[in-house]
Amino acid sequence: MQDNQLNAQRLGRFIRTTGLPVRVYLEPDALAHAIQYRRDQSDSAESLKIYFDRVKYFPELLKLYKDVGAKVYLDAAHSGWFDYRDQDIEAMAEILNRSGIEHADGITTNVSNRQALGDALSPNTEIHYLTRLLPLLNNKKLDVVVDTSRNGGTNIARQYTLAATNLLFDNEIPSGRFVGVWHQDKESHQYWLVPLFGKSMPMSVLVAKDKYVFNSKEKILSAPPWLDAVGDLKLGPAPQDLKTKSIINKYRYIKPPDDCDGSINCPPGASKSDISKLLQR
């Protein structure tokens, strides 16, 4: 909370000095992860604590940033996060309502993702998802913003091949690109991946926590499709205010397109293009 208080003070000074509007997008994925963790952990004591801690702090954060003059947005995940059942939409609406959505200026979806924008009749698209979600929220005047920073083309889920020589290759190019090494612990038989950039990672954590899938026969590790996919530097529709009657009010590049999402060889905040140039040497 102390970091947020310092950030709010800085934003307040900026707003007073420049008179420029400031929009704060509060922690993309935090609320959706709280729902997901409860589900994955079958409402364990720890998962319930995390859920209700976030429900408690978000109204405080909303007030903190609004009091200094910022417009504040809550993140509503995206149309492909859960299984797209009624109960999933209701769970997202419930946590947004619990987190103070009535005091928010808007919501965001698709942050750092690449879900199709679609229309009100096309399932698993942002417009269709928002058509189902918005009527359940305790705020009918929300500014609806969709991140289109990675919606510019077809992306391929990133895969890693654990070669027999203990070398690690990904699928950035058809012939495979060398990106690190791997080894198997003799006692635990645990696989460890050692990328050229970022931290070493145990296979068990990647599969359990980060939703990677490992084909032990082929020794191919597949990242979830949203995580630093091949080709995801292609920009989607440019940032703009939509003048036509649409459930979406704005397109924005909320997540810098070149920022890594945290996959193997792409630690959070690093530059995808810079790392790719170094790996190609």
DSSP states along 190-247: -EEEEESSS--EEHHHHHHTS--EEETTTTEEE--TTSS-BTTT---SPSEE--SS-S
Q: What's 42's domain CATH number?
A: 3.20.20.40
Specify whether 138 is located in the same domain as 6.
yes
In-domain check, residue 201: yes
Please give the full DSSP string across 84-120, using - where no structure is assigned.
--HHHHHHHHHHHHHTTGGG-SEEEE-TT-------T
Specify whether 25 is located in the same domain as 73.
yes
SS3 71: strand
Specify whether 107 is located in the same domain as 210.
no
* pLDDT for position 281: 65
Helix 86-98 and helix 45-67: axis angle, to 10°? 50
In-domain check, residue 74: yes
In-domain check, residue 14: yes
Specify whether 52 is located in the same domain as 82.
yes
In-domain check, residue 52: yes
Question: Residue 59: which domain range?
Answer: 2-147
- Ranges of residues in the chain with a pLDDT under 70 are 281
Whether 183 and 192 have beta carbons less than 8 Å apart is answered as: yes
Q: Which of 147, 162, 191 is a domain's end point?
A: 147
Specify whether 158 is located in the same domain as 111.
no
In-domain check, residue 244: no
Q: Give the model confidence (pLDDT) of 121-157 as tens digits.
A: 899 999 999 999 999 999 999 999 999 999 887 789 9
* pLDDT for position 232: 79
In-domain check, residue 187: yes
* pLDDT for position 246: 86
Q: What's the DSSP call for residue 65?
A: H
Number of domains in the chain: 2
Specify whether 204 is located in the same domain as 89.
no
Specify whether 99 is located in the same domain as 167.
no
Q: Which of 147, 163, 195 is a domain's end point?
A: 147
In-domain check, residue 252: no
How is residue 198 written in tokens?
A: 């970022």
Specify whether 125 is located in the same domain as 7.
yes
Q: Which of 130, 147, 164 is a domain's end point?
A: 147
In-domain check, residue 265: yes
* pLDDT for position 211: 87
Q: Give the model confidence (pLDDT) of 25-34 as tens digits.
A: 998 899 999 9
Specify whether 164 is located in the same domain as 134.
no
Cα distances (angstroms) measured from residue 246 to each of 73, 77, 131, 174, 209: 19, 19, 10, 40, 36
Whether 148 and 251 have beta carbons less than 8 Å apart is answered as: yes
* pLDDT for position 128: 96
* pLDDT for position 262: 86
* pLDDT for position 225: 85
Instruction: Tell me the one-letter amino acid at 266.
Output: C
Specify whether 108 is located in the same domain as 59.
yes
Specify whether 22 is located in the same domain as 110.
yes
Specify whether 131 is located in the same domain as 8.
yes
